[in-house]
Amino acid sequence: MTAATGTPFETDEQRALRTAVAALGRRHADTHEDDPDVLWREAGKLGYLGVSLPEEYGGGGGGIVELATVLEELGAAGCPLLLMIVSPAICGTVIARFGTEEQRRRWLPGLADGSRVMAFGITEPDAGSNTHRITTTARRTPDGWVLSGRKVFVSGVDTAGDTMIVGRTEDARTGALKPCLFVVPRDAPGFHRTAIDMELRAREKQFELVLDEVRLPADALVGDEDAGLLQLFAGLNPERVMTAAFALGMGRYAVAKAVAYAKERRVWEAPIGAHQAVAHPLAQAHIELELAGLMTRKAAFLCDAGDGPEAGEAANMAKYAAAEACVRAVDQAVHTLGGNGLTRAYGLGRLVTASRVARIAPVSREMILNYVSHQSLGLPKSY
């Protein structure tokens, strides 16, 4: 399967980026699982990890449109870099837009060239998808902050030098708790991590974090204490778009594997791909991925254009559409190969578990349906 279509909606530069990244992915496709850090370093050296970050801090000056293209094409080659969703897309976007000049100069160049990785912690054991129930709190001290709480399902903490933590501070005027973002160094005293034993076979490990009275300097707070919610959503919309790109790449990889197999595999006289019972489901999977790709590109464009409600709506819709298309594509690809689809030799069995991640994280499909029913359709809430 060739690179994703939809080229009338891309500039010449964006098409060139897609082609170049696809070529990079093909070069690393066979060795990615053996040493995935090699691809991360090369992608950073070529400027692909920082393509969305400002040029004055070592980035490419593009946006989420370009960054999502990079992740999708690497995924379509079978070597996605999951931490792209977190390090440049969430953390890089937030710091570039809201960080102080000193924070930008400290963190962005490393995020852009891949020499620095930053994890992101928001989910808590008892809060789930309800960010209003986050209990990780930050207490102001004369020389900074003290952060306490727990986080779960935080990706890549073992390779990240820092983790951006969503906590809550007390409003001096009202006493109400408000969300704020803090960058915590991996070696900070009181910052403990425990790997979560996952069935998912992935390079990036998941961690539970315990923040036990972690003392931070004043400049660990990112941006404005009173603009925490705005800053948080400025990172979460790109996260949804990048998750969609991750799912699209995975789905395209699965369909490409199945199509190649269906062209060669013969049970009677003709290749199995000549039979409509095999061909039509693969064609349907391809169509659904293409449609989800259009929604993802629209969402990325709107995210780059601003933080209006249309960006949030599109980002959620893109994530939903791409996740559903990906799960169905992987399922059909495995089914096309039969027993071979579950062998390691063909590389599809591991996607059965991986494809469901896009349905669950960073927000479940049910919460997206809640969002669309409330925000887009104006239906009443049940909670």
Q: What is the CATH number of the domain that holds 49?
A: 1.10.540.10
Once rounded to an integer, what is the mean pLDDT over residues 26-46?
87
pLDDT at 278: 97
Residue-wise pLDDT for 320-373, tens only, equals 999 999 999 999 999 999 999 999 999 999 999 999 999 999 999 999 999 999
Within this chain, do residues 107 and 125 fall inside the same structural domain, yes or no? no
Residue-wise pLDDT for 87-118, tens only, equals 999 999 999 999 999 999 999 999 999 999 99
pLDDT at 226: 75
Residue 2 lies in a domain: no
Residue-wise pLDDT for 156-204, tens only, equals 999 999 999 999 987 656 667 788 999 999 999 999 999 999 887 777 8
> Residue 265: pLDDT above 70?
yes
Question: Comparing 287 with 344, which gets the higher pLDDT?
Answer: 287
**Residue 43 and residue 71: Cα distance in Å, rounded?**
10
Q: What is the CATH number of the domain that holds 305?
A: 1.20.140.10
pLDDT-derived band of residue 1, with 50, 70 and 90 as boundaries?
A: very low
Within this chain, do residues 221 and 241 fall inside the same structural domain, yes or no? no
**Mean pLDDT for the chain overall:** 92
Residue 30 lies in a domain: yes
For the entire predicted model, the pTM comes to: 0.93
Question: Comparing 84 with 383, which gets the higher pLDDT?
Answer: 84
pLDDT at 30: 78
pLDDT at 248: 98
> Residue 7: pLDDT above 50?
no
Q: Considering 200, 226, 252, which residue would you say is the last residue of a domain?
A: 226
> Residue 13: pLDDT above 90?
yes
pLDDT-derived band of residue 2, with 50, 70 and 90 as boundaries?
A: very low
Residue 183 lies in a domain: yes
Within this chain, do residues 350 and 280 fall inside the same structural domain, yes or no? yes
Once rounded to an integer, what is the mean pLDDT over residues 243-266?
98
Within this chain, do residues 196 and 334 fall inside the same structural domain, yes or no? no
Within this chain, do residues 123 and 106 fall inside the same structural domain, yes or no? no
pLDDT at 200: 77
Q: What total of structural domains would you count in the chain?
A: 3
Residue 354 lies in a domain: yes
Residue 289 lies in a domain: yes
Domain containing 18 equals 7-117
Within this chain, do residues 42 and 88 fall inside the same structural domain, yes or no? yes
Residue-wise pLDDT for 212-253, tens only, equals 999 999 999 998 887 767 788 888 999 999 999 999 999 999
Within this chain, do residues 269 and 170 fall inside the same structural domain, yes or no? no
Within this chain, do residues 49 and 149 fall inside the same structural domain, yes or no? no
Within this chain, do residues 267 and 194 fall inside the same structural domain, yes or no? no
Residue 43 lies in a domain: yes
pLDDT at 130: 67
pLDDT at 31: 76
Residue 241 lies in a domain: yes
Residue-wise pLDDT for 114-153, tens only, equals 999 999 999 998 876 666 678 999 999 999 999 999 999 9
Q: What is the CATH number of the domain that holds 140?
A: 2.40.110.10
pLDDT at 122: 93
> Residue 53: pLDDT above 80?
yes
Residue 164 lies in a domain: yes
